[in-house]
Amino acid sequence: MSEKRILVVDDEAVIRQAVQRILEHEGYKVNTASSGHSALELIQSESFNLVISDLKMPGMSGMDVLKSIKILQPDIPVIIITGYATVETAVDAIKNGAFDYLAKPFNPAQVKEIVDRAIQQQRINDDKHLSNDSIKNHPGLNRFIGDSPAMQKIYTRILQVAPTDSTVLITGESGTGKELVARAIHENSARKDKPFVAIDCTALAESLLESELFGHEKGSFTGATHTKIGLFKVANGGTLFLDEISNISLSSQAKLLRVIQERVVTPLGGTKPQPIDIRLISATNKNLRDMSNEGNFREDLYFRLNTIPIDMPPLRERIGDLPLLTGYFLRKFADEINKNIKGISPAVMNLLEEYDFPGNVRELEHMIERAVVLASSDVIQPADLGLGDENISTQCEEECHIPSTTEELKEIKRRLREEAVIPIEKSFVIEALKRNDWNITRAAADVGMLRPNFQALMKKLNVSARDRKTD
């Protein structure tokens, strides 16, 4: 029984400690949280077999905690502690998914009995799993390539979240597929026949962002020659996706929070609030929690947006999906240009497996597209990746031919990385700059990187304006 973990949530220390002592005496491992928000942070980072939460707490109530858990990890039983043990309260909690309720005052025997029953229920729930086939049959999920455990968790979370109207925050590095997740949630929801509206919060100046989101009345500011309907209204009945939400100003954050709380929007220059009915999904490649601690993002807005979190894994953490992704992009681009490509050489796969992919899946896509275009045979070779040295292909074929020991293989991979991966990165950067007429901001956006990170990569690879002269 000692491996079973229980989370106790109560703003009163005396209750937390009492329940903790009872359960630890029974052999359970117990964590405690003094608020609903801190409880949800623990649930997102750790695994629990049972949650026991007080009903009446400041900020986030026990009912709110219950609803979030039923979306985040629906198989975890939740017991609600209540000092208001009316039939109405108990029925309401159970309707929302509570396993049972524990009325104050309670004794150790009551706690033990209800917890033992809940743990037994959790064991039964552990046997329930969605199969991969049933997952991929759902709308939007066929756009994802990958069967790794990390991606299986993403598919399951999408299907858990989609039927609800809960606000979702998708986090992850650039190029990991955050908008694909947002669209899949929409397509599996009751709002699927209504609009899905996406906006990149970095694409518009601050002065235009609020006009785009909230709309404006004619004459409300210089240049407002006509009335404009905002995206909140355009998305009415459907889903609004705010990409890179970390880039909006504190002023706009305050207005967005008010819209989320009141479910009404007032156009710029307008006086009459207009009701809205939307499902809000946001995405960012930054840590909003850290930004909140630094004063750059409103904490109350962060908690509103982060009701249901989905964290997209970077490609380097799902390297087992690399062959599937590479094969998919290979077929896609070969078909597009009607070129007979049968596959890639082992040497190329070695290089890809050793590469960190700072631009994630989007970078891999560009890399394979370039290789298909440049390929001089029906098998992709290292030179086709844009290494800039035609001899590397022959060198690799000779040096990589059936290494006799593990040490030899490691040495070959090390030498290949020194001689080939840096040129791959350099080619990747220069190709992005070429596609965007050497505009650094556009090139960074094209490959899914932040401008400062892209500039740092340019500096690391010694890429500068002089390279344009050889373009």
Residue 328, pLDDT score: 87
Contact call for residues 176 and 313 (beta carbons, < 8 A): yes
* CA distances (Å), origin 463, targets 352, 358, 382: 22, 17, 21
Contact call for residues 249 and 242 (beta carbons, < 8 A): no
Average pLDDT over the chain, rounded to an integer = 81
Contact call for residues 240 and 191 (beta carbons, < 8 A): no
Nearest-angstrom CA–CA distance, 227 and 119: 58
Q: What share of the chain has pLDDT > 70, as a percent?
A: 81
50-54 and 5-9 beta bridge pairing:
parallel
The mean per-residue pLDDT over the stretch 317-340 comes to: 87
The mean per-residue pLDDT over the stretch 401-417 comes to: 47
Residue 470, pLDDT score: 59
Grade residue 285 by pLDDT with cuts at 50, 70 and 90.
very high
Residue 136, pLDDT score: 63
Domains of the chain in start order, with CATH, are 5-125 (3.40.50.2300), 132-313 (3.40.50.300), 316-470 (1.10.8.60)
Judge whether residue 312 has pLDDT over 90. Answer: yes
Judge whether residue 70 has pLDDT over 90. Answer: no
User: Higher-confidence residue: 232 or 457?
Assistant: 232
User: Higher-confidence residue: 404 or 316?
Assistant: 316
pLDDT in tens, 419-468: 444 455 676 778 788 888 888 888 877 766 677 777 877 877 788 877 77
Give me the sign of the Cα torsion angle 244, 246, 251, 255.
positive
Structure tokens at 259: 């819209």
pLDDT in tens, 155-200: 989 999 999 888 999 999 999 999 999 999 999 999 999 999 999 9
pLDDT in tens, 259-269: 988 889 888 76
The mean per-residue pLDDT over the stretch 400-404 comes to: 39
Long-range contacts of 299-303 (CB under 8 A, 24+ apart): 300/257, 301/253, 301/254, 301/256, 301/257, 301/260, 303/37, 303/60
pLDDT in tens, 44-56: 778 899 999 998 8
Residue 135, pLDDT score: 66
Judge whether residue 399 has pLDDT over 50. Answer: no
Residue 459, pLDDT score: 79
Residue 398, pLDDT score: 36
| Contacts of 293 by beta carbon, 8 Å cutoff, 6+ apart | none
